[in-house]
Amino acid sequence: MSKGAEVNAKSSFGTPLHFGAGNEGIVKTLLHYNADAGADPNLSPSLSLLRMSPLDAAVMQGNTEIIKQLLRAGADPNATNAFGMKPIEIAAFKNRPEAAEILFPVSSPNPDVLNWTYDGIKQYVDSDEQASKRDIICLERYLLFKSRGKDAVTRNDYSDAVFWYTQASEAFPPDAAAMLSNRSLCWARLKEGEEALSDAHACMMLRPDWPKAYYREGIAWNLLKEFRKAAKSFAFGLRLDSSNRDLQDALREALASAAAAAAAAAGNGYRVF
């Protein structure tokens, strides 16, 4: 920062102060360089598509002290999330009666809820009709987030793509394996081998019979210079799809890299096992 770094630089993951939270030394340094600490207790415009406010998050966790602090700071108790639910309705949905008790005096009744009590709200949000509405919204959000991720990949903005594929996987868990595969690809393009490998393994856990999962694993091993492990991943993928050209080419390249690494190690006097 003393050399001109932007102390309030923003990304899809937040600002430097977001990343530094929890580390007193980093926070003090950022504040010394005039980092913006004026947090908005309501939804940030940059996150409006996600529709998750700080108050919503506190209610979901049942953190009553944070709920009180956010309300004192001006958080809106009547703002709705992506599913049209107010914080008090989220409290009932997540079985947080203590949170609901705090929110009742400041929440305007939902006219669709006939019995504006905790039990009445819970009966409403747990109804089949509301569950069906949430399912439809989840699918719509998944398709939107997936599209945003694809657009980011097209722009070669892989950090942004990681963010959107994460949101997509959380919005529609049935397709989480595909989103993890996409995210592994993005990590690989960012040269982040460990993250690429972690997502590949998570993808394999969900779809152990999917050749692409093993392709992603192999690519990650390549980034980590573990060429023999990469070759094993590609070979296993070929057992599932013997005609896959990407796996065939990747296996050939991994074996060549492993041989070159072994030769280099032998030339340096290392014993190769």
Confidence category of residue 266, pLDDT binned at 50, 70, 90 = confident
Per-residue CA distances from 25 to 3, 16, 21 (Å): 19, 13, 10
pLDDT for 2 equals 59
Q: Which fold has domain 155-267?
A: 1.25.40
Average pLDDT over residues 103-131: 97
The more confident residue out of 39 and 73 is: 73
Rounded to 10°, the helix 54-61/64-72 angle is 160
Percent residues over pLDDT 70 in the chain: 79
Average pLDDT over residues 204-219: 98
pLDDT for 271 equals 55
Same fold, 45-126 and 155-267: yes
Residue 54 pLDDT more than 80?
yes
pLDDT for 40 equals 61
Given a contact cutoff of 8 angstroms between Cβ atoms, the answer to whether 82 and 50 are in contact is yes
User: Is residue 129 exposed (0-12), middle (13-18) or buried (19+ Cβ within 10 Å)?
Assistant: exposed
Encode pLDDT of 120-170 as tens digits: 999 999 999 999 999 999 999 999 999 999 999 999 999 999 999 999 999
The more confident residue out of 202 and 81 is: 202
What is the homologous superfamily of the domain 45-126 according to CATH? Ankyrin repeat-containing domain (1.25.40.20)
pLDDT for 174 equals 93
pTM: 0.78
Given a contact cutoff of 8 angstroms between Cβ atoms, the answer to whether 200 and 183 are in contact is no
The more confident residue out of 257 and 7 is: 257
Kindly list the domain boundaries of the chain, sorted by start residue. Answer: 1-38, 45-126, 155-267
Confidence category of residue 41, pLDDT binned at 50, 70, 90 = low
Q: Which residues pair with 14 in a beta bridge?
A: 11
Pairwise CA distance, residues 56 & 43, whole Å: 10
User: Is residue 137 exposed (0-12), middle (13-18) or buried (19+ Cβ within 10 Å)?
Assistant: middle
Average pLDDT over residues 80-93: 95
